[in-house]
Homo-oligomer: A and B are copies of this chain.
Amino acid sequence: MSPPTALDVNLVGVTDTSAVPVPDPLTVNGVPAWREKMAKIPTGVAAASNSDMFKSPICYTKPKAKRFERMATFAHSESTDHFSLEAKSRKASTLKTAARYLKTPGLISLGGGLPSPEYFPFEHLDIKVPTAPGFSPEATRESGTVLRAGKHDIQEGTSNYDLEIALNYGQATGAAPLLRFVTEHTEIIHSPPYSDWQCTLTSGSTYAWDTALRVFCERGDYILMEEYTFASAAETAFPLGIKAVGIPMDEEGLIPEKMDEILSNWDVAARGARKPYVLYTIPTGQNPTGATQSAERRHAVYKVAQKHDLIIIEDEPYYFLQMQPYTSGDASPVPPPSTHEEFIKSLVPSFLSMDTDGRVVRLESFSKVISPGSRVGWIVASEQIVERFIRTFEVSSQNPSGIAQITLFKLLDEHWGHSGYLDWLINLRMSYTARRDSLVHACEKHLPREIAHWEAPAAGMFHWVEIDWHKHPGVAAGKTRASIEEEIFLSAVDQGVLLSRGSWFKPDHDTVEEKMFFRATFAAASSEKIDEAISRFADALRVQFGL
């Protein structure tokens, strides 16, 4: 994974940058010029590639990530290694070792088992997609653009990626042209502060999280999660024999001091487990609470992670569902970002962007911003970590579907480019702002404030409403918190509205739940339906609480 020869090799590995001019950061507009200077993108069947082929020179002016062997020496726990036995015993494929002979000039290979592309029964694939600035479904139907992926586009010189390649076996990293796009996107948005970061495509973030657990954890381990978290993420861990400790949260998400307290007081004997060293967090528009960690909060969390030598898995499907500031009822809405720079600046900094150590694994997803059905995502982490993921993918998912990869490539890289993609994301931001506002306005209009409390979410798809269950008449009758939560839930269903119960999202089964919440999404229903739904929920609450 050495950097490409097109780079100024003097920059590679340099840490004292006072003597050399620091290259410019990569920007949206700088991409075409930078691509011109690069070595040619690999286009063969299952051609190997990595992010170093696509990162701009400024990356190599930064220090390298810490190695885990070294990190272990300042660990305050019994663990001597962050990788699982499974991850440590993964080796490169035997059959791939033969690939190096393929470079022999004139060689005829009868070695591999790749089918011939003449038997792939797809001649071309056309997709009709929206074009900036319209982007609306109506505009697309009328005036969208049709993008064609042909079988032999590379041979014919019309593209870097074609069906002949996409339909054959591929590399675990994903195809080079799409890997390039996500690498550039990562650099533009997050500019990781160490040099040897890598991206690899994944078959979706759910799969990447399952793999992360296999890479970092052993049966019997605890992991750290937010007190309320995405239920399926916890349910991915449990069957692997992994338990969760819930970290208390406030309106900015997980509380770093509480995390420090839990880790500093970890009692190996009482817990029957070594100290946790994996934190799973959804920093932006957290599911289910809707909380977004501020920059200051993230810095504080990162410091605790350094103190206790944690791996931070930041699961960030909602990062680009950060919305405009909330303005209640009659106030006029905040105008959208007027430039890409302003948009990027408005985004809360990611853990990746402050990761001087290389202890962050960022799970990226197209599910909430393009389509969940693609089952294509990517991760960003240090080369040492990404390499262990790739070894796992090679003998599991292999790589995301080539048909999905080429579809995304045509849209994101060849059609929109980084500029059009950011336009799309800004458009989405405004749509979600309107949706969020509908829901919060409906809450302001309908919900009984004596017992219902909320903060307008700054990102994501979810609104989290706290219910003061101690005021429920059932309490006097000796009913439990859990049974009152169920009663309210069923009463809402009776009124014709489905919300999610807060207790469904509690991963830590050792602690007692004090509060009560319900989660409502504003992602799917129209604003009229949202208003009606919240009005029904208000009716249910009034009936339940005798208001």
Contacts and interface: CB of A to CB of B under 8 A. Distances in A.
Interface of A: 85-87, 89-91, 93-95, 98, 101-102, 104, 106-116, 118-130, 135, 137, 140-141, 144, 146, 151, 165-170, 203-204, 206-207, 210, 219, 231-232, 235-236, 238-241, 287, 367-376, 391, 394-404, 407, 411, 424, 428, 431, 439, 461-462, 493, 496-500, 504, 519-525, 529-530, 532-534, 536
Nearest to A536: B108
A135 B219 CA distance: 51
A168 B125 contact: no
Contact of A108 (B151, B376, B407, B533): B533
B397 A203 contact: yes
Given A93-B232, A524-B109, A125 B123 contact: no
Given A113-B287, A124-B127, A500-B111, A239 B375 contact: no
A9 B509 CA distance: 43
A497 B107 contact: yes
A219 B220 CA distance: 14
A373 B167 contact: yes
A168 B372 contact: yes
A513 to B, nearest CB: 15
Closest 7 CB pairs of A and B: A373-B402, A401-B401, A236-B395, A167-B371, A126-B126, A167-B373, A110-B520
A524 B115 contact: yes
This chain: copies in complex: 2
A504 B94 contact: yes
A431 B86 CA distance: 42
Contacts of A403: 371, 373-374, 401, 403-404, 407
Given A206-B396, A375-B400, A397-B207, A95 B500 contact: yes
A128 B124 contact: yes
A135 B542 CA distance: 67
10 contacts: A86-B240, A89-B241, A95-B504, A98-B504, A102-B498, A110-B521, A110-B524, A167-B372, A204-B398, A371-B403
Given A236-B395, A493-B101, A108 B374 contact: no
A537 to B, nearest CB: 8
Contacts of A376: 401
A542 to B, nearest CB: 18
B89 A238 contact: yes
A256 to B, nearest CB: 26
B91 A372 contact: no
A401 B202 CA distance: 12
A4 B111 CA distance: 48
A167 B372 CA distance: 6
Contact of A121 (B130, B401, B532): B130
B108 A525 contact: yes
Nearest to A210: B396
B123 A141 contact: yes
Contact of A372 (B90, B115, B123, B373): B115
A493 B206 contact: no
Given A112-B524, A126-B127, A239-B395, 9 more contacts: A95-B500, A109-B498, A110-B520, A110-B524, A114-B524, A204-B397, A206-B397, A373-B403, A397-B397
A235 B116 contact: no
A405 to B, nearest CB: 8
A110 B462 CA distance: 9
A101 B498 contact: yes
A372 B170 CA distance: 9
B239 A104 contact: no
Contact of A110 (B124, B135, B404, B525): B525
Contacts of A530: 110
A121 B395 CA distance: 32
A498 B110 contact: yes
Contact of A373 (B86, B108, B401): B401
A236 B396 contact: yes
Contacts of A125: 125-128, 407
Contact of A374 (B98, B401, B431, B529): B401
Contacts of A206: 395-398
Contacts of A238: 89, 91
Contacts of A493: 101, 104, 107
B86 A241 contact: yes
Contacts of A93: 231-232, 235
A182 B215 CA distance: 34
A377 B123 CA distance: 21
Contact of A424 (B89, B121, B520): B121
Contacts of A368: 115
Nearest to A140: B123
Query: Which residue of A86, A91, A121, A129 has the most chain B CB atoms within 10 A of its CB atom?
Result: A121
B104 A496 contact: yes
Query: Which residue of A93, A238, A403 has the most chain B CB atoms within 10 A of its CB atom?
Result: A403
Nearest to A405: B373
